[in-house]
Amino acid sequence: MTDETDSKMNTRTIDRRGFIAGTFAAALAAGCRTAATRPALRVLTYNLHHSEGLDGKVDLVRIARIIRGSGADLVALQELDRRARRTGSVDQPAEYIRLTGLHGEFGAAMDLQGGEYGQMLLSRWPLSGFATHRLPNPSKREPRIAVSAMVRPPGMPAIRLVGAHLDATRDDGDRRLQSAELHRLFTDATPTILAGDLNDLPGSPVVRGFSEGWSDAAAGDPQPTDPADAPKVRIDYVFARPAARWRVVSVRVLDERVASDHRPVLAELEWDAV
């Protein structure tokens, strides 16, 4: 074999390797572009029962472990205490921010035992424009609120995250009014995820109200969420709008039977940027 022949073979080998590497790089870039057009979010909703489990223990570390283990990007939490005597005067929202490493904001629904009781939002990215929205309560029962904030995940438009917790009594009169207020507040063109405990069943007037313009993450797999030890009913939901721009990748009720009286719901939602 001559030096010239050897040189030509080496050149062809290098060219072939370059072609393969270039093809792989192009495919990888194309895959990245495809992923960038359909970014996904993992959304968790969890009613915490003021962080008291069915074993009677108030255990924030246990709940924070569940939140972290879910890999959630956005979290809506209901029934938290902040410095209330019944849970040791602990600032639960501050502790959940510390224990999860997520950004967070708390909204108070009512004063309670020297502190407050309400809801919070957690996010992998900074929250802005946080607000607490008082919901109708003509029957003067437990005050109900929604909490909202804007978040900007990478590769996505600004998303509005809403947490909600509606009236729990058998009569749905207040609950219908509260649901109507949610629609009034959050049905503009802003991409929105609403998650929480609606205290009503699929097919009820309250839940049916979300059939227009909203995507129900668990519509195709409506697993029960309450009570935690042996779930029989579905009252915890994740909705997104506009429905045409979101695709449900997966949804599941986490198999957590003790930490609270509800089970958490985790949904992965894909945003169609096209």
Measure the CA–CA gap between 44 and 66, rounded to whole angstroms. Answer: 10
The arrangement of strands across the sheet holding 115-123 comes to 103-112, 115-123, 74-82, 40-47, 265-271, 246-253
| Domain identity same for 28 and 80 | no
Question: Domain containing 24: what range?
Answer: 1-37
| Domain identity same for 150 and 172 | yes
Q: Note the pLDDT tens digit of each residue in 78-88.
A: 999 999 999 99
> Into how many domains does the chain fold?
2
| Domain identity same for 9 and 78 | no
| Domain identity same for 61 and 10 | no
The pair of structure tokens assigned to 240 is 């997104």
Measure the CA–CA gap between 10 and 4, rounded to whole angstroms. Answer: 10
| Domain identity same for 107 and 5 | no
Alpha carbon distances (Å) from 151 to 8, 59, 75, 156, 160: 57, 28, 12, 10, 6
Q: Note the pLDDT tens digit of each residue in 198-253.
A: 999 999 999 999 999 999 999 999 999 999 999 999 999 999 999 999 999 999 99
| CATH of residue 108 | 3.60.10.10
pTM over 0.85? The answer is yes
| Domain identity same for 128 and 246 | yes
pLDDT score recorded for residue 73: 98
| Domain identity same for 14 and 46 | no
| Domain identity same for 141 and 152 | yes
| Domain identity same for 4 and 110 | no
Q: What angle do CA 82, 201, 58 make, to 5 degrees?
A: 25
Residue 138 region by backbone torsions, left for phi larger than 0, else alpha for psi between -120 and 50, else beta: alpha
| Domain identity same for 70 and 161 | yes
Burial (CB count <10 Å: 0-12, 13-18, 19+), residue 126 = exposed
Structure confidence at residue 116 as a pLDDT band (50, 70, 90): very high
- Collapsing DSSP to helix, strand or coil, 265 comes out as strand
| Domain identity same for 262 and 140 | yes
Cα pseudo-dihedral 184, 189, 193, 198, rounded to 10 = 20
Structure confidence at residue 39 as a pLDDT band (50, 70, 90): confident
Q: Say if CB 241 and CB 213 are below 8 A apart.
A: yes
| Domain identity same for 136 and 29 | no
Question: Which element (helix H / strand E) includes 99?
Answer: helix 92-100
